[in-house]
């Protein structure tokens, strides 16, 4: 069911993109839309991890520098039958973590200094299991593709609105009765549709990573305690992680001056809902 939901949301995003292309320029517009998506996905596939790590200020860390992190990562990666990701530390006090990379063989996990200082061993294990679950489920690749398609939708919609203002556009649409109005309405509403579809995709992947991580360890309590700490501290300590990378984080960072809109349009489900789902989860320890 989770795979079906992911496929459905990605397909819906692609259909919105094609509809925007059609509204902007008919068949040629659809072709341009597909080119936008293809080029963007190529960049996302090969470079999204480097962009996320560089923009967040993450620095590679050795086993000698952080043996505790390596011990937890190596043990859980072996349990999940995954290669050990490259490990990075972000020099900031706000506790957080994210995984990135196009597949398990090219994965990286970054944690903040604040996370390493605040988490006990059981909580750190829960956080790392969550991030490894994203790696195993190919969530980073899926999220990168979704973000690329959503970005292409927004860009094409802007182009279409610009063309409409100056009287350009698909003559086929203008010849149809009401076609021009329908196309213009689509150009304004499509970016919101893309945003909500991307939010749905991101939020359901967070629930899935929570569940997979808890099952990987054999109990949900470390992750529950970690999420409670992360929620409390990220309400008080602003983060330097850029908003373009924040969707990858285990919890939404605090950027300062948060508004009701940032809560409504969040890529993360409410922490209380994630914790409630973990409390209801039945987990048996692996034998």
- Tally the residues of the chain: 287
b/e per residue, 143-166, with b = 16+ CB within 10 A? Answer: bbbbbbbbbbbbebbebbeebbee
How many other C-beta atoms are found inside a 10 Å radius of the C-beta of residue 71? 14
Give the separation between CA 32 and CA 194, rounded to whole angstroms. Answer: 18
Task: Beginning with the edge strand found earlier in the chain, give each strand of the sheet holding 97-101 in spatial order.
Answer: 59-60, 86-90, 107-112, 97-101
Give the separation between CA 94 and CA 180, rounded to whole angstroms. Answer: 49
239 phi and psi, to 5 degrees?
A: -110, 150
User: Tokens representing 150?
Assistant: 């959503």
Give the separation between CA 20 and CA 272, rounded to whole angstroms. Answer: 37
Long-range contacts of 56-60 (CB under 8 A, 24+ apart): 56/90, 56/98, 56/110, 56/240, 56/241, 56/242, 56/245, 57/90, 57/91, 57/92, 57/240, 58/88, 58/89, 58/90, 58/108, 58/110, 59/88, 59/89, 59/90, 59/91, 60/86, 60/87, 60/88
DSSP conformational letter for 178:
T
88 phi and psi, to 5 degrees?
A: -135, 155
- 211 flagged as catalytic: no
Q: Which listed residue (92, 123, 131, 211) is catalytic?
A: 131
Give the separation between CA 79 and CA 60, rounded to whole angstroms. Answer: 23
Give the catalytic positions in this structure: 131
């Amino acid at each position: 069911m989770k795979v079906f939901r992911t496929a459905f949301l990605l397909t819906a995003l692609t259909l919105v993109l094609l509809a925007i292309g059609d509204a902007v320029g008919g068949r040629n517009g659809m072709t341009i839309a597909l080119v936008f998506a293809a080029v963007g996905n190529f960049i996302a596939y090969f470079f999204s991890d480097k962009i996320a790590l560089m923009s967040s200020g993450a620095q590679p860390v050795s086993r000698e520098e952080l043996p505790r992190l390596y011990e937890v990562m190596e043990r859980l990666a072996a349990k999940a039958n995954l290669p050990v990701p490259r490990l990075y530390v972000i020099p900031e006090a706000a506790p957080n973590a994210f995984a990135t990379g196009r597949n398990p063989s090219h994965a990286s996990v970054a944690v903040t200094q604040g996370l390493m200082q605040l988490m006990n061993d059981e909580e750190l294990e829960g956080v790392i299991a969550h991030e490894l679950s994203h790696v195993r489920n190919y969530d980073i690749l899926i999220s990168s593709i979704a973000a690329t398609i959503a970005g292409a939708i927004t860009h094409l919609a802007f182009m279409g609105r610009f063309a409409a203002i100056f009287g350009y556009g698909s003559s086929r649409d203008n010849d149809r009765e009401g076609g021009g109005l329908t196309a213009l309405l689509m150009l304004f509403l499509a970016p919101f549709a893309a945003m909500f579809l991307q939010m749905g995709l991101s939020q359901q992947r967070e629930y899935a990573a929570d569940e997979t991580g808890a099952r990987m360890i054999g109990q949900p309590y470390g992750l529950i305690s970690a999420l409670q700490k992360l929620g409390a501290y990220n309400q008080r300590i602003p983060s330097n992680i850029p908003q373009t990378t924040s969707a990858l984080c285990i919890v939404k960072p605090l950027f300062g001056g948060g508004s009701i809109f940032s809560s409504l349009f969040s890529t993360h489900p409410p922490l209380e809902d994630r914790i409630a789902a973990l409390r209801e989860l039945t987990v048996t320890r692996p034998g």
